[in-house]
Amino acid sequence: MEGLHIFGLSHAYGDNQVLDNVGLMIPSGELVCMLGPSGCGKSTLLRLAAGLEKVQKGAITIDNVTVSTPEMHVHPEQRRIGLMFQDYALFPHLNILDNVTFGLLDRTAEQSRARAMDMLEQVSMASKAGNFPHMLSGGQQQRVALARALAPEPKLLLLDEPFSGLDTNMRQSIREETLTVLKHSGVATLMVTHDPEEAMFMADRIKIIGADGTILQAGRPHEIYYHPNHEFVAKLFGMMNRFEGTVAGGRVETPLGSVATDLEDGLAVQVLIRPEGIILETDGTGQDKIGGALVEVTSSHLLGHDNIIRVRLKSGGHDELYVRVHHTFEVELKKDISATVDEEYAFVFS
């Protein structure tokens, strides 16, 4: 298979076992995002793929060529990889064009220049070719860094938190541009991010690494969001509402209705419900819904597209619930509202 292939990689720094039997496959043209807590070994994995670190156990191939095993090690310059790390440092003493031509060693000066200008055009920075890095904004520098990484036509692009230095608006537009350029280039990309929404937006597939350095779940963004197979994965995307219960007849009762599960009867479980998985309804009469509960609103905050509403069960006995509803939902403090669970956003873990 063309692209990146990692087999059974384990890595330790002294007694600190950082990666434990990690496998990964990225075909050309695909973007895989790696998410995980700080210190779980994400950058270590990128450094191993880049050849900046020697492999202790396992193997790495790029376009079917073995580049790392404990016995052999191809140098980073010979791996046909593009690197972009958080501090995408451009060379301050070189202008933008020279920054991008820097890695184009095997071409004539004319070919290098043409290739660099083509890449600068793709990231809308051709007009700045003669400028120096300090004359560019953070987002512009980031785009030049992307052009520099892709100019030598790498087979594999390794991105370590590439957008973390940018503000929210800039991040969003750079993400979109980067994605367009990457899809156009057909390179295999492995990107590390702390931001689950960024991973959802960018990735064809997401790998989630746990604190112990093992892969907790891997799948398409939709699967990760709607079918998390681990409590940690479910909680990645922010605040969850939590109930405790016992499995009976393949279901767990919560005050907001019951939720299906494959777990065995009699097992004590927790039910985690996403904020958008609680349906609020004002039916005028304040009547309880079948399987739902009466709640009262304690606070409401408009976020823009959504409202974040806190509600309290009228029956008491539980913390406030955290609900996300469309901004058109009219909140009426004090009025009786019913809440039910939408099973699609509810997950049961033992």
Binding site for Mg ion (CB under 5 A): 43
When asked if residue 18 is in the footprint of ligand ATP (CB under 6 A), the reply is yes
Residue 219 C-beta-side C-alpha neighbours within 13 Å: 13
Residue 122's CB: how many other CB atoms inside 10 A? 18
Which region among 10-18, 137-145, 224-232, 233-241 touches ligand ATP (by CB under 6 A)? 10-18
175 binds ligand ATP (CB under 6 A): no
Smallest distance from Mg ion to CB 160, Å: 6
- Cβ atoms of residues 202 and 175 within 8 Å: yes
Is residue 193 involved in binding ligand ATP (CB under 6 A)? no
User: Could you write out the DSSP letters of every residue in 141-191?
Assistant: HHHHHHHHHHTT--SEEEEESTTTTS-HHHHHHHHHHHHHHHHHHT-EEEE
For ligand ATP, the binding residue among 9, 26, 42, 341 (CB under 6 A) is 42
44 touching ligand ATP, by CB under 6 A: yes
Per rule CB under 6 A, count of chain residues that contact ligand ATP: 11
DSSP code string of 209-225: E-TTSSEEEEE-HHHHH
Taking the CA of residue 320 as centre, how many other CA atoms within 13 Å lie in the half-sphere pointing to its CB? 12
Q: What does the radius of gyration of the chain's CA atoms come to, in whole angstroms?
A: 25
Least separation in angstroms between CB 167 and ligand ATP = 20
Helix (H/G/I), strand (E/B), else coil: 345: helix
**Which one, of 150, 148, 145, lies nearest residue 161 by Cα?**
145
Residue of 1, 8, 13, 327 interacting with ligand ATP (CB under 6 A):
13
* Listed ranges 31-39, 219-227, 280-288, 319-327: which one lies at the site for ligand ATP (CB under 6 A): 31-39
Residue 33, beta-bridge partner list: 191, 206
- Written as six digits, the tokens of 57 are 């156990």
Region from 36-44, 174-182, 284-292, 301-309 binding ligand ATP, contact rule CB under 6 A: 36-44
Q: Is 17 in the site for ligand ATP (CB under 6 A)?
A: no
Is residue 39 part of the contact set for ligand ATP (CB under 6 A)?
yes
For 288, which DSSP code?
P
Q: How far apart are CA 160 and CA 241, in angstroms?
A: 32
Which of the listed partners (ligand ATP, Mg ion, none) does 13 bind, with a CB threshold of 5 to 8 Å by partner kind? ligand ATP
Candidates 24-32, 42-50, 133-141, 218-226: pick the segment binding ligand ATP (CB under 6 A).
Answer: 42-50
Q: Which of 43, 99, 112, 140 binds ligand ATP (CB under 6 A)?
A: 43
Among Mg ion, ligand ATP, none, what does residue 162 contact (CB within 5–8 Å per kind)?
none
Beta strand 257-260 with 268-273 is unpaired
CB of 194 to ligand ATP, least distance (A): 6
220 class by beta-carbon count within 10 Å (0-12 exposed, 13-18 middle, 19+ buried): middle
51 belongs to the binding site for ligand ATP (CB under 6 A): no
HSE value, Cβ hemisphere, 13 Å, CA-based, for 20: 12
What is the smallest separation between the CB atom of 282 and ligand ATP, expressed in angstroms? 43
40 binding ligand ATP? (CB under 6 A)? yes
- 50, two tokens: 């880049």
Which partner from the list Mg ion, ligand ATP, none does 38 bind, CB cut-off 5 to 8 Å by kind?
ligand ATP
Which of ligand ATP, Mg ion, none is residue 133 near (CB under 5 to 8 Å by kind)?
Answer: none
For ligand ATP, the binding residue among 1, 8, 16, 264 (CB under 6 A) is 16
Look at the block and give the residue holding tokens 């958008």.
276
Positions in the binding site for ligand ATP (CB under 6 A): 13, 16, 18, 36, 38-44
